[in-house]
Structure 1
């Protein structure tokens, strides 16, 4: 069993209309990844899709993946590819529910955004996840 120290919240940095298969194709064909970037991805309608068992390592935060669970919502940028918190009400509810479930199992895990890790120069997840989920 992996020692989970973090639960990282991400955005896909894509349009909210982007399909999971397009995201997976990017990981495989452009980045050359064998494993997904996230364990869970949340669609605009709030549906949570598990892409990888949490016991396996995903590719969400370079240098930290062995000790974290990565979750992402589809979106996070506007039409000019600029960071924006464009989570739907359904995505916000699903992220919160998923984080509460994960915290029951991984009580000591810290919840934070991708941008909160050292040497990360990104706006991801386009909102302050550390502050928003500090009481989860």
Structure 2
């Protein structure tokens, strides 16, 4: 839902005139403020690139595609559905691999008492039996 909303907003901003304040902020570069040490200065447009790649949209053509509102809406919807399906498949595979790699229960070791031939299910049980 967040991806869909952010892509819709980016399409709206890309259709604005260049002199509009949201578009100026959208395309501007951060000149003041705190960034992580050795991290590049990021723009909103740079963080948007991640959502575009997750939606399998060509990054170099997204603004051209966003110029037509109906096509962009269709592309966003398909990207969101594709992303959700990919996530579901990955989660199912991850769950299945966890289930397949689950350690089997070790067979219960039985121990017999040397004196009375009683079967104990654990070593501590045998120890307790012999010292009782």
TM-score, with structure 2 as normaliser: 0.23
When you count strand as a share of all residues, which structure comes out higher? 1
When you count helix as a share of all residues, which structure comes out higher? 2
Larger Cα-atom Rg:
2
Higher relative contact order structure (alpha carbons within 8 Å, sequence separation ≥ 6): 1
